[in-house]
């Protein structure tokens, strides 16, 4: 049976071998791309170059911001429901209460060492230092949901939009 949920394809490919520059492209009706100009050190050794998944949540404005924050999580299968509920019910709403945090999407990944991918569209990278994000990361439910060794393997990608 085919899912009625939309699919999103995220391509994170190194521009130059050994470089931390990655290309980010949403393959959808817009055909737009984003150039990722910075990758947090934890993601430097990530060998996964693309993700294909089912969109579980698309919250916020249906627009793309000028910056992007992507997090890939290897959520254990027995914790996926808890993770999805936490993100949809608590974490995304707290982040989206900052008007500069434009959109938050959660994907269930297929054929990947990661099981969940979160794609955030932001007005600017400075919003990553906001009080809203700090509060969203310090709730009791966040601590409980993100407990476990699996969170250390999460990969984070940060970038700013350029012309496709």
Give the start-to-end residue ranges of the domains of the chain: 7-160
pTM of the predicted model as reported, rounded to 2 decimal places: 0.74
Query: In the predicted model, is pLDDT for residue 113 greater than 60?
Result: yes
Task: Give 119-147 pLDDT, tens digit per residue.
Answer: 888 888 889 889 999 999 999 999 999 99
pLDDT of residue 155: 79
Which has the higher per-residue pLDDT, 99 or 46? 99
Which has the higher per-residue pLDDT, 92 or 159? 92
| Least confident stretch, 22-36, 39-53, 66-80 | 22-36
Work out the mean pLDDT of the chain and round it to a whole number: 73
pLDDT of residue 72: 87
Query: In the predicted model, is pLDDT for residue 164 greater than 80?
Result: no
Task: Give 8-45 pLDDT, tens digit per residue.
Answer: 445 444 332 333 333 443 333 333 333 343 344 344 44
Give CATH for domain 7-160.
3.30.70.100
3-state secondary structure the chain: CCCCCCEEEEEEEECCCCCCCEEEEECCCCCCEEEEEEECHHHCCCCCCEEEEEEEEEEECCCCCCEEEEEEECCCHHHHHHHHHHHHHHHHHHHHCCCCEEEEEEEEEECCCCCEEEEEEECCHHHHHCHHHHHHCCCHHHHHHCCCHHHHHCEEEEEECCCC
State mean pLDDT over 110-125: 86
């Amino acid at each position: 049976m085919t899912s009625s949920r939309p699919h999103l394809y995220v391509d994170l490919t190194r521009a130059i071998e050994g470089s931390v520059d990655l290309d980010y492209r949403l393959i959808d009706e817009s055909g737009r791309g984003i150039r990722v100009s910075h990758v947090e050190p934890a993601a430097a050794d990530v060998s996964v170059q693309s993700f294909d998944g089912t969109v579980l949540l698309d919250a916020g404005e249906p627009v793309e911001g000028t910056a992007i924050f992507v997090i890939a999580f290897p959520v254990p299968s027995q914790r996926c429901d808890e993770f999805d509920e936490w993100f949809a019910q608590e974490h995304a709403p707290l982040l989206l209460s900052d008007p500069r945090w434009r959109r938050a999407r959660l994907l269930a990944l297929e054929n990947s060492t990661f099981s969940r991918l979160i794609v955030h569209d932001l007005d600017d990278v400075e919003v990553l230092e906001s009080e809203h994000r700090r509060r969203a990361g310090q709730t009791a439910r966040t601590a409980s949901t993100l407990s476990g060794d699996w969170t250390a393997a999460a990969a984070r990608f940060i970038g700013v939009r350029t012309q496709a």
